Structure 1
Amino acid sequence: MIVTVTPNPSVDRTLAVGRLTHGEVLRASSSWSEPSGKGVNVALALSAHGYASRAVVPVGGAEGARLETMLRARGLEYVAVPIGGEVRSNISVLEPDGTVTKVNEPGPHLTETELKALVEAAISAGERAEWLVGCGSLPVGAGSGFYAELVGAARHTPARIAVDSSGAPLAAALPAGPDLIKPNADELAEAAGHAIETLGDALTAARRLRELGAGAVLASLGPDGAVLVEENEVVHGEAYVADPRSTVGAGDALLAGFLAAGARGPEALRTALGWSAAAVRQPGTVLQADGTDPTADVTLHDRVDERRRLRRS
C-alpha cells in the first residue's frame, strides 16, 4: 500500500482550444474535469495500474464534495479530512501542440486544528503502508514546516517517506531526512543557487540535496528525462515521445512509476520514465493505463554525460 497526502487538492477543468489568443473570446472544442493535486494524481496513477493506494485529502465546500464524487467514481480509496473552507478549482487550457496554460487557485485556509487532523490521518494510514508520500503546494495557513512535521511523525510508522514539493516547504523537510524527494529542474536550480544548464549541474544540485538530508533524489528534467541519485548509484534515463499531448501530471506519473517498481535502482527509474512518457502522450492530468508497455521507448545511461546541455535551458 502506498499512501499519499495532498494538503491542497483540486478539481481540475481542462479546456481544449485550437489556439490560445490573449484578449479574445475562445470556443473550446472539448472539456473535462478530473480530481487532482499531486498526491491525488500519484494515487490515481498507481490505482489505474493495479497498485494498492490511498489518498489522504482535506475536503470542504461544493468543490470538495465534487472531488469526493470523482474519487469514488474512479474507485480510489481515500481518507477525507473535513475542513471549513472550499477545495480549490484549477483551469487548464490545452492547445493542439501540447502547450498547456494553467491557472491554479491558491486553495482554502486550513486552521491549525485542520492541519493537525490531516497529519494524524496520514500517520494513521501510514501505519499500514510501505510508503507515505507528501505532495504538492501547501494551502493558506500551513507553515513551511508541514512536510518536515509529516516526515518526523512518519518515523513512528513502518512506512518510508517521500516528499514532492518545492521552495521553503521542501527546504524545511530536508533536515528531517525524507527517504526520497522528487524535485524538477527549477527546484534543483533553487537548491543550487544557479541555473541548471547541463546534466552535470543537475547532478551537483541533487547531491547537494542529499547532503542536506534527502536519502535519494529522483529529479525530473522535462524532455531530458530524469536522473536518479542514490547513495552508491547515479543513473540518467530518457523516454522518446513522438506525439506529446500534455506535460501536466508527467512528474506525478514519474513518481508513481518509481514507487510502483520498488523505488530503487535503474529498473525503477525505467518504469518511472515509462509512466511519465505515457502521461505526456495523454491529454489529461491523471495517467490512465492503456495496456501497452510504457517502458518500450526508455533508454538508461549508467554513465552520465555531465557536459550535455539540457534542452529546457
Structure 2
Amino acid sequence: MARILTLTLNPALDLAIRIGSIRLGEVNRTESTRIDAAGKGINVARVLAGLGHDVTVSGLLGTDNETLFVRTFTELGLHDAFIRVPGETRINAKLSETGGRVTDLNGPGPMIPAHALDALTERLESLLPGLEAVVISGSLPPNVTPAKLASLVFVARARRVPVWLDTSGAALVAGLGARPSGVKPNEKELADWAGHPLDTSEARLQAALRLNSEGVEDVIVSAGAEGVIWAQRGDALMAESPRVSVVSTVGAGDTLLAGMLHGVLSGWPREQGLRFATALAAESVRHIGVGDPRTADFEQLQRQTIIRSLTSDARTGGSLG
C-alpha cells in the first residue's frame, strides 16, 4: 500500500454528544458522550490506516493534553511526526440530535510560536522522500496565516508529491493559489471561493471545472444527500449517495477524501473509486466516527451508489438539476 502523510495544523479533541433534542437554557440529559483525538487530517489518517496504507501524521500539537493523541496514534499504527507546541490542543464539542442535525462548538486553537512553524516546514521537507501523497486539511490556529498553509503546499509540490487540500475560507483561497493536485470542498466552501451561491449540481459542476482549468487536476465536491461531483481535468462524474439514517455527519467529508485517495493510489477506475468513497462516507453518517468498509452491508451500500457522467449529460443536453 501507499506511503501517505497527513498534515493537521489545528487538531482537536472532539467531544461527541448524542442528545434527543437540545433545550437551550435548560438542563439536558445526553444519550451518550465520547471524546476522540481528531482534526480533519487525523480523521483521514484513521480511514487510510484502516485500509492498509502506511500513514504518518504531522502538524501542530499542544503538549499539555497530548496523551489521548499519542495513545490513538499507537493504537492505529500511525507514525507520529507532530511538532509539539506549548499549551493545550483545542477541544471541540459536536452535538448530534435525533434527525441528524449537528451543532459544532469549535475552539480556536493555541497560539503557535514562530519557531514551531519553521520546524514544521523542516519536518515536512524531511518526510517527503518516498511519499505518494500529502493531505493538508482542517482549519488554521489563530496566528497561522493562510500564506503559511500555501507555503506548505508549495514545498510538497516542488518535490512533485501530490497534495490534496481540504480547508475553507481564506486558507482555501491561498492554498488553491499554490496549485494542489486535488481539493475537496463541500458545496458551501466552494460557493465561498466562487463568490456566489452554488445551489444546483450544474452550478457546482461549473465551479469545479473552473478549478480544473486553473490547474487543480482533481476537484471533489461533496453536497451531502445531493451527492458528490468529481471533476478531473475537465471530465466530471457524479455519485448519488445511498439513502441512510443520519446520526452524525462529523467526519463524513474526511471519510470521503480518504476513500477517494485510496482509490486513486490503488489505481482503480474512477467509477469504482467514486462509488467506494461515496458509499464509505454514507456508512460514516450512520454513527459517530469515520466510515468502516468492514461493516456487514458495505457491499450493498456500494451497489446502491449510482454513478453517472456529467460530461456526457452536458454533451447530450441532459439536465443536472
TM-score computed with the length of structure 2 as normaliser: 0.90
Moved more, 64-73 or 190-199: 64-73
Q: Which of 118, 123, 128 lines up with 1:121 in the alignment?
A: 123
Contact 1:184 1:220 in 2 (8 A): yes
Q: Residue 279 of structure 2 aligns with which residue?
A: 274
- Offset of residue 225 of structure 1: 1.1
Cα distance in structure 1, aligned partners of 2:294 and 2:192? 36
* Aligned residue runs from structure 1 range 195-214, under 5 A: 195-214=197-216
Which runs of 4 or more aligned residues in structure 1 lie more than 6 Å from their structure 2 counterparts after TM superposition? none
Residue type at the aligned position of 1:169: A
* Aligned residue runs from structure 1 range 220-259, under 5 A: 220-259=222-261
Cα distance in structure 2, aligned partners of 1:32 and 1:175? 38
User: Which residues of structure 1 form unaligned runs of 5+?
Assistant: none
Moved more, 44-53 or 289-298: 289-298
Q: Tell me which of the two structures has the higher relative contact order, counting C-alpha pairs closer than 8 angstroms and 6 or more residues apart.
A: 1
Q: Residue 290 of structure 1 aligns with which residue?
A: 294
Distance 1:301 1:99, change over 3 A: same
- Offset of residue 93 of structure 1: 1.3
Cα distance in structure 2, aligned partners of 1:119 and 1:289? 34
Q: For residues 252-282 of structure 1, what are the alpha-carbon distances to aligned partners after superposition, in whole Å with 9 as ceiling and x for unaligned?
A: 0010000001167332212211221111122
Contact 1:215 1:231 in 2 (8 A): yes
Q: Does residue 164 in structure 1 map to residue 169 in structure 2?
A: no
Q: Residue 11 of structure 1 aligns with which residue?
A: 13
Cα distance in structure 2, aligned partners of 1:196 and 1:307? 16
- Offset of residue 206 of structure 1: 1.1
3-state SS of 1:285 partner:
coil
Cα distance in structure 2, aligned partners of 1:241 and 1:146? 40
3-state SS of 2:134 partner:
strand
Cα distance in structure 2, aligned partners of 1:180 and 1:85? 33
Q: Which of 99, 103, 106 lines up with 1:104 in the alignment?
A: 106
Cα distance in structure 2, aligned partners of 1:118 and 1:307? 47
Cα distance in structure 1, aligned partners of 2:35 and 2:241? 28
User: Which residues of structure 2 form unaligned runs of 5+?
Assistant: none
- Offset of residue 158 of structure 1: 4.7
Q: For residues 141-179 of structure 1, what are the alpha-carbon distances to aligned partners after superposition, in whole Å with 9 as ceiling and x for unaligned?
A: 211112211111113435211111111111112222111
Cα distance in structure 2, aligned partners of 1:148 and 1:211? 19
Contact 1:191 1:205 in 2 (8 A): no
3-state SS of 2:139 partner:
coil
Distance 1:235 1:64, change over 3 A: same
- Offset of residue 190 of structure 1: 1.5
3-state SS of 2:65 partner:
helix
Q: Does residue 299 in structure 1 map to residue 306 in structure 2?
A: yes
Q: For residues 78-124 of structure 1, what are the alpha-carbon distances to aligned partners after superposition, in whole Å with 9 as ceiling and x for unaligned?
A: 21211113211111112222221110000011122111222322332
Cα distance in structure 2, aligned partners of 1:33 and 1:287? 17
Cα distance in structure 1, aligned partners of 2:109 and 2:27? 27
Moved more, 298-307 or 74-83: 298-307
- Offset of residue 234 of structure 1: 0.8
After superposition, the CA RMSD in angstroms is 1.9
Cα distance in structure 2, aligned partners of 1:234 and 1:207? 8
Moved more, 101-110 or 115-124: 115-124
Cα distance in structure 2, aligned partners of 1:287 and 1:219? 18
TM-score computed with the length of structure 1 as normaliser: 0.92
